[in-house]
Amino acid sequence: MKIKNIHAREILDSRGIPTISTEIELWSGDKGVSEVPSGSSTGKTEVFELRDNDPSRHNGNGVLKAVETINGKIKELVVDKEFTSQKEFDDLLNSTDGTELKSNLGGNTILSCSMAFARAVTNSLGLNLYEYLAMIYWDKEYKESNFKLPTPMVLVMEGGKHGNWATDIQEYMIVPNMDKFKSFSEAFKSSTEVFHNIHDVLNERGYSVGLGLEGGYAPKELTGNEEAFEIIMKGIEKAGFKVGDDFKFALDLASSEFFNEESEKYILKSEKKELSTEEWIALQKEWYKKYPIYSIEDPLNQDDWSGWTSLTEELGKDLVIIGDDLLTTNVKRIQNGIDTKAMNSVLIKLNQIGSVTETLDAIRISTDNGLSSVISHRSGETNDDFIADLVIATPADFCKFGAPSRGERLVKYNRLLEIEEILKR
Ligand code: PGA
Ligand code: ZN
C-alpha cells in the first residue's frame, strides 16, 4: 500500500472544540477519512493531546499545530512509502514521535493518521472496516462467526463534568438483559423507549430535560445521586419493562473527577459530603444493595491501585468492575491491573493510547486474560463511526456510545444496526 497524499484539517467536535480530520489517499485512488474524539474527564496517563495553546483562538484549544505537523512532517514521512501493514504505519509514527506518551507529535495527531490509514486500506481491499480490523486482531484468520453485536450500555442520565454536576455520578446507563431482548436492535429499541419515558418522568416533576455532553438528561433540580436512580426506574416501568429483569444499571462513577488529592477526600457536591475512601466505598455499597447494578466504572481514584484490588476482591464476583482512568487503554497498565487483580473489565478508548494497533493490543491482552472489554466513545465526539466497527471486529462484549439522542452518538448506534443487517444476510 502506497500513500499518494495525506491532508488534515481543523474541525469541531460535539462540544464545539477543535479536533483533527485527516484524509489519506492511496495510489490506488482509494481514500480514508478520520475524525478524532477528545475527552473532558481525561485520565492522567492518557497520551498527550497536542493543542495550540494560543489564547486568541478557541480559548487555546486550536489544533493547527497538529494539522501543520500532518500536512508537513508526516506527509514527507509517509507519502510514496510502501506499507505492508497497519502496524508498520503506526510504528513509524510512534518511532518518529519517540516518546512513551506521544508528547512530540501528539496522540491526537498520530491517531488521526492511523484511523485514516485504516479506512483507506479498508476501502482499497473492498472490505467493511470491521473486516479489516478483524484481519489485524486475528492475524488475518478471522471467521465471520466471530462477529457478534455487543450488549449496549445506553446512557440515560448524566452529571459530573459532562452534566454540569447535576449529580456526582458521571453516567447512569441502562444495560438490557440480552437473554430477554435477543438482538441488538431489539435491545436498543427498548432502551430508547426507556429514554423517552425518562423524559416524561422528568417533565412530570417539572425538571429540566436539557442534555449533557453525551446526550443524557442532566437536570440540575435533582436532590442528589439517588433521585436519578429513582427517576430511571420509573422510566423503565413506564416503558413497560421490569427493573432488574429487563434492565440493570451500568454506572460510570468517574471518581477521579471529584477526588481531592490534597485532602484525599471524595467531594460529593450534589450531596454536600466530603468522604474518606472508606466512607465513599460504604456509600457505594449501599447503592449497590439498593439498586440493580450490573457494572461500575472508575469506582475509585485512578492512583489507588490497592483500593481497586480490595474492592474487586470484595465485589468482583457480583459486579463488572471497569477500569477507565485507571488503565487508559495502555497495555502496560492493563498488565499491572491483571497482575494486581485490580478490575475485571477494561474500558477501551482509541484516543487514550493514540493508534489503531495499540488499541487492538489493549483489547487482545484483556480478552486473553479473561477480562471483558467495553468499547467507548468520548464526551467530545465526532461523526466518525469507527468504534462501531471496532466492537464488531474484536471479542469486546460491550459498547458505550452515549444516549440515543445526539447525532454524534447515533451515528455509531446506527452503524451497528446496519452491521446487524449485513451479518444476517
Ligand atoms: P470523557 O468521559 O470522554 O470525558 O473522558 C468518558 C468516560 O469517562 O468514560
Ligand atoms: Zn469513564
pLDDT, tens digit, 9 for 90 and up, residues 75-103: 999 999 999 999 999 999 999 999 999 99
Residues belonging to the chain: 425
- Contact (Cβ atoms closer than 8 angstroms) between residue 150 and residue 398: yes
Rounded to whole angstroms, how far apart are CA atoms 356 and 406?
Answer: 25
Active site annotation includes 349? yes
Please give the pLDDT value at position 388: 99
Please give the pLDDT value at position 89: 98
Distances (CA, A) of 177 to 23, 67, 272: 40, 44, 35
Rounded to whole angstroms, how far apart are CA atoms 199 and 162?
Answer: 18
Please give the pLDDT value at position 140: 83
Lining residues, ligand 1, CB within 6 Å: 39-42, 252, 254, 324, 376, 378-379
Indicate the burial class of 282 (C-beta count within 10 angstroms; 0-12, 13-18, 19 or more). Answer: exposed
Which grid coordinates belong to 328?
Answer: 487508559
Rounded to whole angstroms, how far apart are CA atoms 152 and 414?
Answer: 12
Please give the pLDDT value at position 141: 85
pTM of the model: 0.98
Q: Which atom of ligand 1 is nearest to the CA of 213?
A: 4
- Contact (Cβ atoms closer than 8 angstroms) between residue 109 and residue 5: no
| Residue nearest to ligand 1 atom 6, measured at CA | 378
Write down the catalytic residue from 23, 46, 158, 214.
Answer: 214
Please give the pLDDT value at position 194: 99
Rounded to whole angstroms, how far apart are CA atoms 168 and 171?
Answer: 9
Q: Which amino acid is at 67?
A: V
Of all ligands present, the nearest one to the C-alpha of 323 is 2
Please give the pLDDT value at position 160: 98
Side-chain-side CA neighbours of 28 within 13 Å: the count stands at 13
Please give the pLDDT value at position 385: 99
Of all ligands present, the nearest one to the C-alpha of 40 is 1
Active site annotation includes 4? no
Please give the pLDDT value at position 226: 98
Q: Which atom of ligand 1 is nearest to the CA of 43?
A: 5
- Please list the ranges in the chain whose pLDDT falls under 70: none
Write down the catalytic residue from 102, 234, 349, 400.
Answer: 349
- Contact (Cβ atoms closer than 8 angstroms) between residue 207 and residue 166: no
Please give the pLDDT value at position 10: 99
Q: Which atom of ligand 1 is nearest to the CA of 380?
A: 3
| Residue nearest to ligand 1 atom 1, measured at CA | 39
Within 10 angstroms of residue 120's Cβ, the number of other Cβ atoms is 24
- Pairing, β 31-35 against β 151-152: unpaired
Distance 44 CA to ligand 2 centre (A): 12
